[in-house]
Amino acid sequence: MNRILLLVIVFCVYCDGKYFETRCDLVYELRKQGFPDDKMADWVCLIENESGRRTEVIGKVNRNGSRDYGLFQINDGLWCSNTTVPGNDCTVTCADLITDDITAASNCAKIIYRRQKFFAWHGWEKRCQTTLPDISMCNK
Ligand SMILES: *[C@@H]1O[C@H](CO)[C@@H](O)[C@H](O)[C@H]1NC(C)=O
Ligand SMILES: *[C@@H]1O[C@H](CO)[C@@H](O)[C@H](O)[C@H]1NC(C)=O
Ligand SMILES: CC(=O)N[C@H]1CO[C@H](CO)[C@@H](O)[C@@H]1O
| 89 CB near ligand 3 (under 6 Å) | no
Q: Which of 67, 84, 97 to mutate to test the pocket of ligand 1 (most atoms within 8 A of CB)?
A: 67
Judged against a pLDDT cut of 60, whether residue 9 lies above it is answered with no
**Shortest-distance Cα residue to atom 13 of ligand 1:** 82
- Domain of 21 in residue numbering reads as 2-138
Task: Give yes or no for residue 76 CB within 6 A of ligand 1.
Answer: yes
Query: Inter-axis angle of helices 23-32 and 40-51, to 10 degrees?
Result: 120
pTM above 0.85, yes or no: yes
Active-site annotation, residues: 50, 68
pLDDT digits (tens, 9 = 90+) for 19-43: 999 999 999 999 999 999 999 999 9
- CATH number for position 90: 1.10.530.10
In whole angstroms, give the CA distance from residue 91 to residue 85: 9
Question: Distance from the CA of 132 to the center of ligand 3, in angstroms?
Answer: 9
Cα(69) to centroid of ligand 1, in Å? 12
Dist. CA 93–CA 104, nearest whole Å: 9
Distance 113 CA to ligand 2 centre (A): 15
The count of domains in the chain is: 1
- Residue 75 banded pLDDT, cuts 50, 70, 90: very high
User: How does residue 6 score in pLDDT terms, banded at 50, 70 and 90?
Assistant: very low
